[in-house]
Chain A
Amino acid sequence: MIAKKLILSIIIMALAPSSLFAANATDILHRAETADQYINYRGKKTASVLYDKKTVSAVIKVVHTKPDNTRTEYYSPAPLAGIVMIQDGPNLWKYTPRSHAWEQVRSSALMPYDDNRRGAFDNYDIQLIGTDKVAGRNTYVIRAVPKQGKESVHRIWVDTASYVILGTQVINWHGAVVTSSRYTSVEINPKDISPSVFAITGKVKGVPKPGNVDFHVAKPSYLPKGYRMVGKVGVVVSDHCCVHSQFSNGINSISLFQRKCGGDAAPKRLLGKATTVLTWARAGMLYTLIGDIPRAELQKVADSIR
């Protein structure tokens, strides 16, 4: 009898940490996704991208004040050096040293936060897999494993004290790390962040207003499991009236761009060194499909568009 109780106690003790982690992963993710609303921070980080089969790293400085002001400065690599991004509430601005001007980034439809997170939990197993140190701070390591299909595995490192996300990693369906980021130094709630760092000063370029869409907006009859349409916006791109249809599974997204064109002879072709892009023309329309999913899957989506 005593032996049975002992065995039962050992089993309970062995299972307790994993069940605790499972219960906390959801809470940690929610706190991490909303931490920016309550925390100020400043730091430097590196962001690495698998580009043309090589890893390219960028050095970035980030300054954030609650609830939604963020200034991001890019120091390297060369194509990005000198670029500054400022998030001012719903507005996103980009400064490029080549043009010496600010330009408002034309946004896609803003996705409702709750809908998006529901998609993440529906389509991924969210797990707390351990703890780690990032920039000298303790972090939780959360992993999102796709429940179905060939999707990437995502990891985030969340500061245990502030819940600010201090690191990310994406591993694709081939097991390759395609992107990662990690703070090398960070200050939580510094007292000396000036509001002027979020000011847009100097030359500002205008953004073309979207025109009327005078064509049938096509839809794919096939989407990978878990994806659904989350938005559709009309934009003007290089004088063309264009529709951007947006699909998401909560963590990953697919974009379909459609506009009129003068011919239908261009066959499907693959572009992109860092992401999968398919473009083709048919029946007087030019289509461009972008998504971080296997090419065969993207091709199936493309073939189903009518």
Chain B
Amino acid sequence: MKCKDVCDLMSEYIDECLDEHRRMEVEAHLNSCTDCASELRAMKAMLVSLSGLSGRRSPVDCWTHVHEVIIRQELAKKAWWHWLLKPAVAAPAVALTALLTLLLVWPQSTVAPPPAATMSNPEYGYYIGAHSHLQRQQAFTDPDVTFVRAELETASLSTNTTAK
């Protein structure tokens, strides 16, 4: 048996894991080779010193945390928009974009709000004018007076549409 073979089997020899034949061959070489014998002593001394260190138990979920940290680091390396490529995000985003596009392209009249419950000034002015046109047809009525009255009313609409 050569020195290299003995070195390869050194750990098993120390742990007493070799069969009887192998163990005898290793011991025969160690008795005749001072270098390998010296290596064996150094290894045993290191093991003795390591066994003197106090042990510290790992947390139960240590590997779970390690896994999360690794994933976070990997995600941080990716661009923010990579989220959009995920189906759970991409599908609603596409649907929302399509809806907004539809609202912008669709004819205005179909999405117009319901008519207001209050009058605009032009609408109020029209009502006053239409009523004056009805009144001007009545007996004893000067149509010019009726018109003046209606025009004064509509001309001041900007200050006249507040509730009394």
Please indicate which of the listed interface residues A33, A286, A291 has the most CB atoms of chain B within 10 Å of its own CB: A286
A178 to chain B minimum Cβ distance, whole angstroms, is 9
Number of A-B contacts (CB under 8 A): 176
Contact status of A262 and B115, CB under 8 A, knowing A107-B133, A237-B127: yes
A150 to chain B minimum Cβ distance, whole angstroms, is 17
Majority-rule SS of A interface residues: strand
Determine whether the beta carbon of A80 is less than 8 Å from that of B148.
Answer: yes
B85 to chain A minimum Cβ distance, whole angstroms, is 43
The answer for the CA separation of A181 and B119 in the assembled complex, in Å, is 32
Determine whether the beta carbon of B144 is less than 8 Å from that of A47.
Answer: yes
Determine whether the beta carbon of B153 is less than 8 Å from that of A237.
Answer: no
Question: Quick one: CB contact mask for A155-193 with B, threshold 8 Å, 1 for yes?
Answer: 110000000010010100000000111000000000000
Q: How many residues of B are in contact with the other chain, CB < 8 A?
A: 41
Determine whether the beta carbon of B115 is less than 8 Å from that of A117.
Answer: no
Question: Quick one: CB contact mask for B114-144 with A, threshold 8 Å, 1 for yes?
Answer: 1111111011101111110111011111101
Is the CB of A10 closer than 8 A to any CB of chain B?
Answer: no
The answer for the CA separation of A257 and B115 in the assembled complex, in Å, is 15
Is the CB of A275 closer than 8 A to any CB of chain B?
Answer: yes
Contact status of A272 and B160, CB under 8 A, knowing A83-B151, A116-B138: yes
Between-chain CB contacts (< 8 Å), 23 pairs: A29-B139, A56-B148, A56-B152, A74-B151, A79-B155, A92-B133, A108-B133, A108-B137, A117-B139, A144-B139, A154-B140, A168-B140, A179-B142, A237-B127, A238-B122, A253-B138, A260-B114, A262-B117, A265-B117, A270-B163, A272-B128, A274-B149, A275-B128
